[in-house]
């Protein structure tokens, strides 16, 4: 076999690997997007999909099983489970997604600046990052929410304080690699300012990594929000939320009323599953190594 | 190896100081007044002032900081408001259950992950591979407290195999009562560990040194034990080391589900009692625990991979 043939064969093999990888990415992305899309749609259209309010109590119909009047049954206060799941999606998904936005933007900006400029700024940022990640995520978030007081604002702030670090680290590493390439040298020679190089040229090239990570970060946020609410530290009742629903349902679990705890748990699991699929799919399509 | 160790230890100092500083800031520089949080909205100004004085909150910030760091250096973490006891002596009782829980959970996750990862690397794309990977995606999205609650419902309430909650009195009882919580926590780490190990094994099996070993005519067994597993052990250890954060966070959650008297329930009690010094000290100990495991990981790295020591 000649060199050329070997090269050709290798190229063919590579493109085939690339193609199947991409196709798998696309199916993952598609399935994930359908799952997440459906859940988001259900959350948005919540009032249209149920006749009951999420906090309407009906003491003539407590602890009912699934039926045509109550699709998923009712809890011990006669609240419609289906309605609470729908409105809980609004609370949890919205908060988890919004809580990703601030760390994504702040972390990406800090990471890009840190990676591009290096020096003392980089050293300080990375030492702060080391210190923040030394705390277990749940320990720091729970302590912060305690200090700042229960509620949506505290959850949002606590998550933001902790999770910008991951984005900063990811983006910094990518930026450092990119900064030493000819493409950045060309920009410098072209007389572009540092700000313009970082935010107009470097960030668009590295942000895909951060976005892929953001998908798994939303999953982590849902987890921590639900856990906080389960322990009575998060979303303040009566606002419907999956975590407090599970806490309310747990005492009835042993009595055979599994749905009260399992249904909100299933909602969390399916949502997270969908988001992970989107993350995997995006990683494959954007060719991000994880 | 000794020089490597000393350098590692020296590098730790700024991180430990930083972690202590951050815990200090948690209590002293966040919006809100710890004294008011502790006493409630209807507390009289005199009571507030007295408590602020007792906690030293009326001192200038730098003096509070020095007092806090000085206390740390001499092994004094302050007094618990609620238990009226020194926090260090309370922690001494609370730390062992958490450490045991984390150790058993680590053991479970290694025992489950390694054989599965080997199987998956051998039959890539096969039924087991696909099944475990789907299971991982589901496990990653399952809230830990829910796993715990289900395990209690099935194995304690239905089958009566394990105690529902608590920690027992003898060491044997400790271990038995920690089995379910450890499984729950292990399920958090296993997906990461399997994903990492599987990748590392596949990389090792596709490497030139394994091809060379095959060409040399080494047995499959020798290739696996001396080449594939040993090389995959390095990323495996580092993944395990990184997971200690999840392990610690996991024990915080699961101890409260299973009512195990460890660090996690201590922190949560501190929160319920608005016991600021307890929350502060527990968060600090959790962070120090993580740093300590990072150090162990680095040392293990150095032992497994001589190249690391030189860098």
Nearest chain A CA: its distance from B271 CA (Å): 7
For tokens 């060379």, name the residue.
Answer: B212
What is the per-residue pLDDT for A1? Answer: 41
> Is B26 in Cβ contact with A133 (below 8 Å)?
no
> Is B137 in Cβ contact with A273 (below 8 Å)?
yes
pLDDT tens digits along A165-186: 999 999 998 888 888 888 888 8
Residue A255 placed within a domain: yes
> Is A273 in Cβ contact with B141 (below 8 Å)?
yes
Residue A127 placed within a domain: yes
The pTM (predicted TM-score) of the whole model is 0.85
What is the per-residue pLDDT for A288? Answer: 62
The burial of A11, by beta-carbon neighbours within 10 Å (0-12 exposed, 13-18 middle, 19 or more buried), is given as: exposed
What is the per-residue pLDDT for A24? Answer: 63
- Spatial distance between the Cα atoms of A166 and A155, rounded to a whole number of angstroms: 18
| Eight-state DSSP code of residue A239 | S
CATH number for domain B96-310, candidates 3.40.1110.10, 1.10.3720.10, 3.30.465.10, 3.40.30.10: 1.10.3720.10
pLDDT tens digits along B17-48: 989 988 888 777 666 667 777 777 787 888 88
Each of the 290 residues of chain A gets a pLDDT tens digit; together they read 444 444 544 444 444 444 555 566 688 889 999 999 999 998 888 788 777 878 777 777 777 777 777 777 777 777 888 888 889 898 899 999 999 999 999 999 999 999 998 889 998 998 899 888 888 888 888 888 888 877 888 888 889 988 999 999 999 988 888 888 888 888 888 888 888 888 888 888 888 888 888 988 999 999 999 999 998 888 887 888 898 888 888 888 777 788 888 889 999 999 999 998 898 888 888 766 55
What is the per-residue pLDDT for B182? Answer: 94
Domain of A255? 10-289
Nearest to B141 among A142, A254, A268 (CB): A268
pLDDT tens digits along B209-245: 888 888 888 888 888 877 888 778 777 888 888 888 8
> Is A135 in Cβ contact with B19 (below 8 Å)?
yes
Q: Between residues B163 and B113, which one has the greater pLDDT?
A: B113
| Eight-state DSSP code of residue B79 | B
- With beta carbons under 8 A apart, name residues in chain A contacting B287: 134-136, 139
- Spatial distance between the Cα atoms of B100 and A168, rounded to a whole number of angstroms: 34
Q: What is the mean pLDDT of residues B158-182?
A: 84
Residue A201 placed within a domain: yes
What b/e readout covers B68-82, taking b as 16+ CB neighbours within 10 angstroms? beeebeeeebbbbbb
- With beta carbons under 8 A apart, name residues in chain B contacting A153: none
What is the per-residue pLDDT for B29? Answer: 63
Residue A1 placed within a domain: no
Q: What is the mean pLDDT of residues B271-281?
A: 84
Count CA atoms within 13 Å of residue B209 on its CB side. 13
Q: Between residues B105 and B53, which one has the greater pLDDT?
A: B105
Residue A5 placed within a domain: no
- Spatial distance between the Cα atoms of B137 and A271, rounded to a whole number of angstroms: 11
Residue A3 placed within a domain: no
> Is B271 in Cβ contact with A142 (below 8 Å)?
yes
The CATH number linked to A158 is 1.10.3720.10
Sign for the CA dihedral angle at B259, A244, A143, B32 comes to negative
Residue extents of the structural domains in chain B: 2-73, 96-310
| Eight-state DSSP code of residue B228 | I
Selection from B305, B270, B215, B256 nearest residue B79 by Cα: B270
How many domains are contained in chain A? 1
């Amino acid at each position: 076999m000649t060199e050329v043939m070997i090269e050709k064969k290798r190229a063919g093999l590579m493109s085939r690997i690339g193609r199947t990888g991409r196709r798998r990415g696309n199916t993952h992305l598609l399935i994930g997007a359908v799952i997440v899309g459906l859940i988001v749609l259900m959350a948005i259209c919540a009032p249209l999909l149920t006749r009951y309010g999420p906090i309407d109590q009906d003491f003539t119909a407590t602890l009912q099983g699934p039926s045509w009047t109550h699709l998923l049954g009712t809890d011990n206060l006669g609240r419609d489970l289906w309605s609470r799941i729908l409105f809980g999606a609004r609370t949890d998904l919205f908060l988890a997604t919004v809580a990703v936005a601030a760390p994504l933007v702040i972390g990406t900006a800090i990471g890009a600046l840190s990676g591009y400029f290096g020096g003392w700024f980089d050293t300080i940022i990375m030492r702060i990052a080391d210190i923040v990640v030394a705390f277990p995520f749940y320990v720091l978030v729970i302590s912060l929410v305690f200090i700042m007081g229960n509620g949506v604002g505290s959850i949002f702030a606590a998550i933001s304080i902790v999770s910008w670090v991951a984005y900063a680290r990811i983006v910094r590493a990518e930026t450092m690699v990119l900064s030493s390439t000819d493409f950045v040298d060309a920009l410098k020679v072209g007389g572009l300012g540092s700000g313009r190089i970082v935010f107009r040229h470097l960030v668009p090239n590295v942000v895909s990594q951060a976005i892929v990570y953001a998908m798994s970060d939303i999953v982590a946020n849902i987890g921590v929000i639900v856990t906080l609410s389960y322990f009575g530290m998060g979303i303040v009742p009566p606002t419907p939320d999956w975590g407090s629903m599970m806490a309310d349902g747990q005492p009835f679990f042993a009595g055979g009323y599994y749905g009260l705890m399992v249904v909100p748990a299933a909602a969390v699991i399916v949502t997270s599953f969908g988001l992970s699929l989107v993350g995997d799919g995006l990683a494959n399509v954007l060719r991000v190594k994880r | 190896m000794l020089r490597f160790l000393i350098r590692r230890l020296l590098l730790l100092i700024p991180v430990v100081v930083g972690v202590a500083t951050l815990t200090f800031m948690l209590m002293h520089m966040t919006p809100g007044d710890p004294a008011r949080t502790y006493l409630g909205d209807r507390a009289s100004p005199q009571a507030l002032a007295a408590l602020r004085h007792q906690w030293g909150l009326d001192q200038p910030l730098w003096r509070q900081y020095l007092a806090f760091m000085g206390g740390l250096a001499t092994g004094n973490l302050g007094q618990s408001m609620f238990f009226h006891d020194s926090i260090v002596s309370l922690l001494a009782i609370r730390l062992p259950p958490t450490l045991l829980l984390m150790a058993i959970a680590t053991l479970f996750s290694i025992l489950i992950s390694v054989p599965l990862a080997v199987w998956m690397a051998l039959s890539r794309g096969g039924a087991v591979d696909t099944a475990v990977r789907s299971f991982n995606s589901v496990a990653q999205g399952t809230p830990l407290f829910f796993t715990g609650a289900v395990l209690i419902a099935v194995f304690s309430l239905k089958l009566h195999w394990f105690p529902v909650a608590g920690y027992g009195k003898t060491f044997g009882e400790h271990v038995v009562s920690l089995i379910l919580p450890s499984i729950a926590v292990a399920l958090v780490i296993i997906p990461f560990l399997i994903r990492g190990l599987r990748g590392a094994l596949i990389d090792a099996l596709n490497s030139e040194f394994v091809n060379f070993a095959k060409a040399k005519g080494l047995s499959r067994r020798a290739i696996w034990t001396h080449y594939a597993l040993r090389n995959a052990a390095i990323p495996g250890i580092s993944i395990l080391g990184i997971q200690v954060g999840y392990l610690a966070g996991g024990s915080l959650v699961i101890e409260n589900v299973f009512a195990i008297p460890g660090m996690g329930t201590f922190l949560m009690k501190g929160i319920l009692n608005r016991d600021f010094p307890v929350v502060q000290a527990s968060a600090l100990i959790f962070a120090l625990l993580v740093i300590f495991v990072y150090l162990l990981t680095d040392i293990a790295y150095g032992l497994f991979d001589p190249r690391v020591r030189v860098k």
